[in-house]
Amino acid sequence: MTEIRSAALVVNAKSRKGQKLFERACRRLHGLPFPVDAHAVEDPRDLERTVNDALAKKPDLMILGGGDGTVSGLVDLLVGHDVILGVLPLGTANSFARTLCIPLDIDGAIDVLRTGEPRRIDLGMIDNDYFANCAAMGLSPQIAETVPHNLKKVLGRLGYLGWAALQYLKFRPFQLIVDNGKEVQRLRVVEVRISNGPYHGGTWLVDEASPNSGEIVVQAVRGHYRRTLIKNWAASFLGLEARHQDTVSFRGRALQITTEPKLPISIDGEVLARTPVTARIAAGVIRVMAPVQCDPTPGSPPAE
């Protein structure tokens, strides 16, 4: 078993909730058998600098606290370093933590840092940008790209849902072109999921995807009408077999992805790219602390 002698914690604490959870985590971390250099970062623009400063001290364990976007945005910095990634899930969906069987409560996640074992896993890539769990094209990035700044803060959840409903009415199915290097396939779709893990938005969606498969999976929801997307989301949320009726999957080490028209791509919740792109896998590129009993291989969703 790998001996952990030192660790660093960087938490995205931009919200009041984030700061409160950071303080709770620090109290709980005192029970670990190694020292933890902890940092709460209130301005997201300072996250990369804080992680780089922490990595310069060569900790054995680098703990990232936040949601999927925080982990994906910072995981690039860990590639090439002899460091183990620890995850403190503080987001809404926490899809990456779910994939690795990491408990979603602070006490449970910290217990994994003490009792878990390092596992070498894949990362997905969109062109040269690493990501931890998933990327998407369709309605979700359209909402994220167009939503007015501070709308949710000013008008609350209802204001955000109202904007999402407006974007749904404007949304149109699009053409997806996938090139695996041997053949090119074209189809009409309402959503595309580029996956290194089965969870999207906290819901199990892509059975074939796993962070230790050595392949990237592109799952498309076929359809000529936007209502197909609502049907697929509902079936997926309820865990029904009907969620497979309108989907088709492509997999490989690298896939060329084009859309007509060109579309934004959200990477673990953040709009960071636009088509066309190359989706690929970076096999076994990092180690992450995960529960001993978890084996994140492709298959059926876990029992609730």
Residue 150, pLDDT > 90, answer no
* Residue boundaries of the structural domains of the chain: 7-124+286-290, 131-283
Is 52 strand, coil or helix?
helix
- Decide yes or no: CATH 3.20.20.80 for domain 7-124+286-290: no
Q: What is the mean pLDDT of residues 39-61?
A: 94
Report the alpha-carbon distance of residue 300 to residue 205 in Å, rounded.
Answer: 10
Q: Which residues contact 23 (CB under 8 A, 6 or more apart)?
A: none
- CB–CB of 135/124 below 8 Å? yes
Q: Which residues contact 225 (CB under 8 A, 6 or more apart)?
A: 173, 190
Is 135 strand, coil or helix?
strand
> For position 303, what pLDDT does the model report?
46
Average pLDDT, the chain: 89
- CB–CB of 289/117 below 8 Å? yes
144, amino acid identity: A
> What pTM does this model have?
0.88
**pLDDT above 90 covers what percent of the chain?**
64
Q: What are phi and psi of 161, to 5 degrees?
A: -65, -35
Helix (H) or strand (E) holding 97, with range, is helix 95-99
Q: What is the dihedral of CA 231, 237, 242, 246, to 10 degrees?
A: 50
Residue 287, pLDDT > 60, answer yes
> For position 98, what pLDDT does the model report?
94
Residue 198, pLDDT > 80, answer yes
Would you tell me how many other CB atoms lie within 10 Å of the CB of residue 154? 9
CATH architecture observed for domain 131-283:
Sandwich (2.60)
Confidence of residue 161 (pLDDT cuts 50, 70, 90): confident
Residue 187, pLDDT > 60, answer yes
Report the alpha-carbon distance of residue 259 to residue 267 in Å, rounded.
Answer: 16
Tokens representing 166?
Answer: 């407006």
Distance (Å) of CA 47 to CA 70, 207, 268, 289: 9, 33, 17, 21
Confidence of residue 33 (pLDDT cuts 50, 70, 90): confident
In this structure, of 5-19, 42-56, 162-176, 267-281, the range with the lowest mean pLDDT score is 5-19
For 244-265, how does the pLDDT look when each residue is reduced to its tens digit (9 = 90+)? Answer: 999 999 999 999 999 999 999 9
Residue 297, pLDDT > 60, answer no
> For position 241, what pLDDT does the model report?
87
Q: What are phi and psi of 86, to 5 degrees?
A: -115, 145
Q: What are phi and psi of 4, to 5 degrees?
A: -95, 120
Report the alpha-carbon distance of residue 204 to residue 191 in Å, rounded.
Answer: 15
For 199-223, how does the pLDDT look when each residue is reduced to its tens digit (9 = 90+)? Answer: 988 889 999 999 999 999 999 999 9
Helix (H) or strand (E) holding 187, with range, is strand 184-195
> For position 130, what pLDDT does the model report?
94
The radius of gyration computed from the CA coordinates of the chain, to the nearest angstrom, equals 19
More confident residue, 160 or 227: 227
Candidates 81, 84, 82, 103; CA nearest to 94 is 103
Q: Which residues contact 102 (CB under 8 A, 6 or more apart)?
A: 87, 89, 108, 109, 112, 290, 291
> For position 299, what pLDDT does the model report?
54
For 55-94, how does the pLDDT look when each residue is reduced to its tens digit (9 = 90+)? Answer: 999 999 999 998 888 999 999 999 999 999 999 998 888 9
Residue 225, pLDDT > 50, answer yes
Tokens representing 130?
Answer: 């690493």
